[in-house]
Amino acid sequence: MSNPARDKEYRMESNTDNTTLLAMLESMLRIRAYEEKAAALQAQGQAPGTCTAVGQEAVAVGVVQALAADDLILTNHRSAGHLLARGADTGRMLAEVMGKSTGYCKGKSGSLHISAKELGVVLTSTIVGAELSLATGVGLALAMERSAAIAVCFFGDGAACEGAFHESLNLAALWRLPILYVCENNQWQAFVHRREAMAAESVGDWAAAHPMPCASVDGNDAEAVYAAAAAAAAQVRSSRQPYFLEARTYRLRGHYEPDDQHYVDAKELAGWRGRDPIAALQARLLAQGVLSAESLERLHQRVAADIDNGLAFALASPYPAAEELATDVYA
């Protein structure tokens, strides 16, 4: 379906500087390693189940790379990539996942609702669609403060099927709120394929009904995501109006650990595995000579050491005292 309001399509661009690309690669590697560690901890019974976003790292890293330090992020249950790309500490993240008091939320969030005010990750909600409903309030506050910052709301194609999606976009357009909506269309809504749940081919078809710029991007191409997000963020920043960006990607692991993915079409999965965003960026940087085999090895080692140190910190951290059960309920 062609859509005049959504014909802006970002393709691979090679005008991102090498330092940025290398930083993005490292961030993607860290997110992948972190999520694989979280899944492994679950399998060993050392942590509860968790929602990973393996395969979607390019969206998190590409978008966050395009933000200014004071921009704010709202996210959902699949948030680890957004937080880590924003600079979250792996130790405090793992501590939170394991319920330790040194976690970002004192061990009260678990893996699903980690927010970190100090990193500008202002709200994380695991009620599908709630992130969209809260985003207008964050955007309203930025607008009323005459802030230069913008709010970015990450959500899935499943959330777009909730009424809150249209309510949020309508109000943001009406009240001219500085919100960058980033739909991570990973083709899955828990155990239901997007095609089974959406009559439209893309979420952009719906967003285009609202008066705001819309664009879509290959979410497995980190550089293209970065370019698209940078253009989008710049437009939100200058226009103080919302913008909708859809990143087409794929959830390579299951919905929630553990998940044997028996319901997934093997051919579809294999096709997307072949388009792994980390492998793609790595191959490109190696081919261009930006990255050598040795420096890639060093990157991997640095990331592995970071995860190991983080895990050691989390393991050594205490659980909250039982009295914490009823603290932080009221201000």
Q: List residues binding other proteins (CB under 8 A).
A: 74, 103-109, 113, 115-117, 122-125, 127, 129-130, 132-142, 144, 163-164, 167-168, 170-171, 174-175, 327-331
285 binds, among ligand TPP, other proteins, none (CB under 5 to 8 A by kind): none
Q: Distance between CA atoms of 51 and 48, rounded to whole angstroms? A: 10
What residues numbered 224-263 form the site for ligand TPP, per CB under 6 A?
Answer: 251
CA dihedral (124, 137, 57, 265) in degrees, to 10, reads 80
Determine if 127 is a binding residue for ligand TPP (CB under 6 A): yes
Instruction: Find the shortest distance in angstroms from Cβ 146 to other proteins.
Output: 11
* Binding partner of 159, given other proteins, ligand TPP, none, CB within 5-8 angstroms per partner class: ligand TPP
Smallest gap from residue 331 Cβ to other proteins (A): 4
Among 120, 156, 213, 242, binds ligand TPP (CB under 6 A): 156
- Contact status, residue 245 vs residue 232, Cβ threshold 8 Å: yes
135 makes contact, choosing from ligand TPP, other proteins, none, with CB < 5 to 8 Å by partner type, with other proteins
Residue 200 interacts with ligand TPP (CB under 6 A)? no
Inter-CA distances, 150 with 78, 130, 138, 158, Å: 21, 19, 9, 24
Positive or negative torsion for Cα 149, 3, 133, 93: negative
Residue 163 contacts which entry, ligand TPP, other proteins, none (Cβ below 5-8 A, type-dependent): other proteins
Residue 96 and residue 107 in contact, taking contact as beta carbons nearer than 8 Å: yes
Cis bond upstream, residue 277 (ω within 30): no
Phi, psi of 189 (to 5 degrees): -125, 85
From the list 7-15, 155-163, 211-219, 231-239, the region that binds ligand TPP by CB under 6 A is 155-163
Q: Is 210 in the site for ligand TPP (CB under 6 A)?
A: no
90-97 helix and 18-43 helix, angle to the nearest 10 degrees: 30
**Nearest to 212, CA basis, from 167, 247, 180:** 180
List, in sequence order, every beta strand (DSSP E) within the chain.
8-10, 72-75, 121-124, 151-156, 179-185, 188-189, 192-193, 214-218, 243-248
| Closer residue to ligand TPP (CB): 125 or 282 | 125
Nearer to other proteins, 129 or 254 (CB): 129
User: To the nearest whole angstrom, how small is the minimum distance from the Cβ of residue 314 to ligand TPP?
Assistant: 24
- The residues binding ligand TPP (CB under 6 A) are 77-78, 126-128, 156-159, 184, 186, 188-190, 251
